[in-house]
Structure 1
Amino acid sequence: MSATKSLHSQVLSPTAPPLFPRQIAVMILALVACCFAGNHVAARLAFENGTGLLLAVLCRSGVALLILISIVTLQRHSIRLPKRIGRWQLLLGLMITIQSLCLYSAVARVPVALALLTANTFPIMLALLTWALGGRRPTLKSSALMLFILFGLVLALDLPGILGGEVAVTATWWLGIAFALTAALALSVAFWVTDHKLAALNGSVRSMFTMVVVFIAMVIAGFGDVLPGGMAFPQATQGWIGLGVLVVLYGGAFSVLFITVPRLDMARNASVMNMEPIATLLFGWVILGQMISPIQMVGGLVVISGIVILTLRKSA
């Protein structure tokens, strides 16, 4: 998810290739969203079979970094980073590192679809962060949509049932939700930095440096044993399959998105990517046997609908 969103702020040059017909663009974005959804489900499968969290992020970021280096090299972009924005690029990389670790931590603890739905509330945090840092105040309609999304999240998490004692959850569940919210907060900070401090930097170069920071951070954390068992290899065949599939799906979706983004008219079609939680719900049910209640499904649809409407309003 975090890698795709950074593409939205790229500005097409006057010599940009012609746009795909909208139905083709929508199909490509839907396929990419499904691949990212499958990546999260595969990650849960890997974690359930002994795969370390740091190892999963390291493999994923390593593949993404190789892809970005290839793109930057083929397109012959300059990789000189002005000193005045170096600290902001470092901050962006650290925020994406935190987002990746927290999202996978959430995926390992709660149903994958709930982790994604909770993390996808980042547009609310971004709007509030932008306002707090001197940006435009959310309009009344935007504020109403944010409340609508939060209401949906309350239903998706079934908080009425939990607080009423009808649904029992463990401390691990609450920790997973906290990780998902932290991932959303980190992503909102990353977007703010991208839009306000690094917008002039080429998107491919910016993303490449971001993945450099993520990769190096994972290596340091692994060698420093910051997270016990974080670099553990899978203990069963299913774990190796999950690790391999998450790398292939993430790398494939990442490649397709970066190669085709100039022709996808993201300002108009980016909302298609919000089908990722829906695909995650389906894959989680089929592959992992994870089910959520009808009220949680309704809440999930409310969250996704609100985010789509909010996105379309901002891009209009």
Structure 2
Amino acid sequence: MTATDNPAPLPRHIAIATLLCLGCAFAGNHVAARVAFDDGAGVLLAILMRSGGTLLALGMLVWWQRQPIRLPPGAWRWQLVLGLLIATQSICLYSAVARVPVAIALLVANVFPILLVLLTWGLGGPKPTARRAILMGVILVGLVFVLDVPGRLSSGERMQPEWILGIALAFTAATVFAVALWITDHKLSTLRGSVRSMLTMSIVFSTSAIAGFSGVLPGGLDLPASSTGWTALATLVVLYCTGFTLLFVSVPRLDMPRNAPVMNIEPVATLIMGWIVLDQMLAMGQIFGGLIVIAGIVLLSYKKD
């Protein structure tokens, strides 16, 4: 293997700064999506534009690298399943963002590491260690505070149906994303990352287009009512497309096994941006729970030596 195949990792402070910027870009994408939804934009329209822009960027990358689009025998069906899962995850997460505060939707959706650990164990993988089991319990306790369960119980307040649906959609997004990661790691790991992602985005784009034009999700392709919504849509496309593509280009040099937990800045950045842009301020107990969730996920992401 040549030096080009194994590029030298970036200095750690640069790698961490890069990942922090990428996490903030993904956070901004979700906040921009909520602005667009509040202006009347449909969920499928946002996904269609986002996946279309990312597909174009990845297609150019694959063309520039002269990568053959060939899949190993039997891999096509797994690639199709992966694309459908990511499409489902996108629809569920954006639908959750449209219904509940963005930070809460992201925090619930970010429990996917727990689900991935449990899924891997259930499908014959290693049993979670005592340390991991404790951390998963800590994350769940944090979620109890994020959802303000103690406050609602003490006040006797009932959760609104829209709120319950939003939380359920965010959890569904976490579940299908965990399955998608398992398939990527166990069924498609030999496929070049940029090719796999390009094919995945093409399936997400096609699925969103079919769902939108067939009327499966009423209002899914509704247009924004003003320039504010169009600006928000353009912003989410630029942020997601740039972040996703740069992550793929840079990942060989970012020492991800060591630095990946830095990406958990996303829910924190979402909380701050949601407050500034959307005036979505969480209660102190919810913020405390969010910090517990993020800390637990960071520790869960680190492999103990």
- Tell me, yes or no, whether TM beats 0.5: yes
In structure 2, the partner of 1:145 is 135
Q: Aligned equivalents of 1:262 and 1:128: distance in 2?
A: 28
Q: Aligned equivalents of 1:117 and 1:91: distance in 2?
A: 25
Point out the more displaced range, 294-303 or 77-86: 77-86
In structure 2, the partner of 1:209 is 199
Point out the more displaced range, 73-82 or 98-107: 73-82
Point out the more displaced range, 166-175 or 93-102: 166-175
Task: After superposition, give the CA deviation of every residue in 1:222-255 in whole Å (9 maximum; x if it has no partner).
Answer: 1101111101110112111111111111111122
Q: Aligned equivalents of 2:41 and 2:234: distance in 1?
A: 11
Q: Does 1:155 align with 2:145?
A: yes
In structure 1, the partner of 2:227 is 237
Cα RMSD after superposing both structures:
1.4
In structure 2, the partner of 1:261 is 251
Shift of 1:134: 1.0
In structure 2, the partner of 1:185 is 175
The partner residue of 1:175 within 165, 177, 180 is 165
Structure 2 counterpart of 1:231, one-letter code: L
In structure 2, the partner of 1:3 is none
The partner residue of 2:30 within 21, 35, 40 is 40
The partner residue of 1:54 within 22, 44, 49 is 44
Q: Aligned equivalents of 2:218 and 2:101: distance in 1?
A: 23
Structure 2 counterpart of 1:259, one-letter code: V
Shift of 1:13: 7.9
Shift of 1:82: 2.8
Shift of 1:95: 0.7
Q: Give SS of 2:74's match.
A: helix
8 A contact 2:108–2:171 mirrored in 1 = yes
Give the structure-1-normalised TM-score: 0.93
Q: Aligned equivalents of 1:164 and 1:51: distance in 2?
A: 37
Shift of 1:83: 3.7
> Percentage identity across aligned positions?
56
- Gapped regions of structure 2 (runs ≥ 5): none
- Gapped regions of structure 1 (runs ≥ 5): 1-11
Aligned residues: 304
Task: After superposition, give the CA deviation of every residue in 1:123-166 in whole Å (9 maximum; x if it has no partner).
Answer: 11111111111111111111011000000011111112223335
In structure 1, the partner of 2:280 is 290
Matches within 5 A, 1:1-316: 15-313=5-303, 316=305
Q: Aligned equivalents of 2:115 and 2:140: distance in 1?
A: 11
Structure 2 counterpart of 1:247, one-letter code: V
Q: Aligned equivalents of 1:165 and 1:95: distance in 2?
A: 38
Q: Aligned equivalents of 2:251 and 2:183: distance in 1?
A: 21
